[in-house]
Amino acid sequence: MPLTHTITVRDRATGTTHILEVPENRYILHSAEHQGSELPFSCRNGACTTCAVRVISGEIHQPEAIGLSPELRKQGYALLCVSYARSDLEVETQDEDEVYELQFGRFFAKGRVRAGFPLDED
């Protein structure tokens, strides 16, 4: 039997807290679904960041999280669809598009400034 960890997931969008028992060798999102917990996801392969969470405490292993920059991983973000627990964990879901904007928002921000100025000034 693989080692099992207790994962507490706070879903900020719904205000619910999920307590899960997750074996070390299973993806956390997959285990959550099997335990009847509905968490946000889309691609299921570590690319889209819909399932991103911030780790409050504990250790997570996510070698396949290609959608997450090394900087954001260092800041404690993780993708539950491709994450394994390495200890008991407490995580919270992101605000909608939080991780996407942290990674790409600055490029769009520059674009917006250029598009709105000086054309909108008459």
> Is there binding between residue 46 and ligand FES (CB under 6 A)?
yes
**DSSP per position, 18-47:** EEEEEETTS-HHHHHHHTT-----SSSSSS
Contacts with ligand FES by CB under 6 A: the residue count is 13
Buried b (16+ CB within 10 A) or exposed e, 58-89: bebebeebebbeeebeeeebbbbbbbbbeeeb
- Complex with ligand FES: residue 5 or 32, whichever CB lies closer: 32
Stretch that binds ligand FES, among 12-20, 44-52, 70-78, 93-101 (CB under 6 A): 44-52
> Is there binding between residue 50 and ligand FES (CB under 6 A)?
yes
Q: Which residues in this chain contact ligand FES in the complex, by CB under 6 A?
A: 41-44, 46-51, 67, 79, 81
